[in-house]
Amino acid sequence: MTAFHTVGIIGKQDDAPRVLSTIRRLLTHLSACGCDTRLDPLSAQSLLLPERAMNTARLGGWADLVVVVGGDGTLLHAAREVAPHQTPLLGINLGRLGFLVDVSPECIEAYLDQILSGEFYEDQRCLLEVDSGQRTTLALNDVVIAKWNSVRMIELEIEIDGHFVNSQRSDGLIIATPTGSTAYALSGGGPLLHPALEALVLVPICPHTLSNRPLVISSHSQIALRLTHAPPEQVRITCDGQIELDVPENALIHIRRSVHRLRLLHPRGHDHFAILRAKLGWGGYQHAGSLC
C-alpha cells in the first residue's frame, strides 16, 4: 500500500527534452502505482496535459508528496511554496551540483517504489523569513544584502537579539541556513554546517577589515540590519538568488528563522557526507567500512 496517494510534480521551467521525458516516466510509474498526479502549469502545457495543471502555490496544499524534476534551483523555488503546507519534497537531479536533489533519473522507478511504500529518510530543513519593511518572504538557502550597480562598498550595522555586533564595511553580507552553507556562503569562505544543526551563519562579502570573519549563531536568534552611508537604490536584498527586494530608506531589515520547515525526503541509505565528497570533489582513499 502506498504511503502517498496524491503527487504533485514541479519541473525545471523550460521545455528541455530531458526534463519532459523524465516527467513522462514519473507520470507513467505513478499512474501504475495508483497515484493521482498534478503538474505545474508550464510542464502541463509542454506535455499537452492542461487538465493536469495546478498552480505551484496550490500543489503543496493538494498533494501528499511533491516531486521536483531539475536542479537545486528548481527545488529552492518549490520549497518556498510548499514548506508552509508541510508537504514533503523529493528531488530528481537533472542539474549539475545537486546538494538537495539527490535521486538519479536512472533510478527513478526503484527509488519511487521505496518511497511510496514508506521506505525513506526524512530530514527537516529550516527556512529564513526576511522582512524588508515593505515585503516579507522566505528563503531556504540564504538572504543576501549586497551592493547593486556600484563598485563602492556599503556599510551595515548588525544587531543580534537586540545586541549591537558591529558596523561592517564590505560588498555585503550573507545570512545562510545550514542548507545554504554549501551555496554562496561556501564561496564566501563560510563553514559547512550539518543540516541537523540549529544554527545560522553570517558571512561578510569581501570585508574591508580582514578580522571580520564568518559568525555562527543560534537559529533562534533575531537578526536586524540597518544600511548606513549608502544610497538605498544601490543595495538589494536577494533570497535564494531568486527573489529581489528593494531596501527602503532608513529601514530596519529583520531576519529570523521561519516557523515553517521543509520536509525533504531522500532514498533509503542517504549519506550527507557522501554527497559532500561527491559534490565538492574531496579526494582520499577508498573507505573500508565503519569506524564504529
Q: Are 253 and 226 in contact (CB under 8 A)?
A: yes
Cα(71)–Cα(252) distance, rounded to whole angstroms? 34
Among 40, 72, 142, 240, which one carries the catalytic annotation? 72
DSSP structure class, residue 43? H
Task: Label the pairing between strands 199-205 and 223-228.
Answer: unpaired
Residue 63 main-chain phi, psi, to 5 deg? -85, 155
Cα(187)–Cα(18) distance, rounded to whole angstroms? 29
Sheet of 142-147, strands arranged across = 215-218, 199-205, 172-176, 142-147, 235-239, 243-246
Q: Are 208 and 169 in contact (CB under 8 A)?
A: yes
Residue 224 to residues 7, 105, 130, 213, 256: CA-CA distances in angstroms?
39, 42, 10, 18, 9
What lies within 8 Å, CB to CB, of 291 at 6+ separation is: none
Among residues 152, 280, 292, 163, the alpha carbon closest in space to that of 221 is found at 163
Told to judge if 72 belongs to the known catalytic residues of this protein, a careful annotator would answer yes
Q: How many residues does the chain have?
A: 292
E strands within 94-222? Answer: 120-131, 136-139, 142-147, 154-160, 163-170, 172-176, 199-205, 215-218
Cα(131)–Cα(129) distance, rounded to whole angstroms? 7
Q: Which residues are catalytic?
A: 72
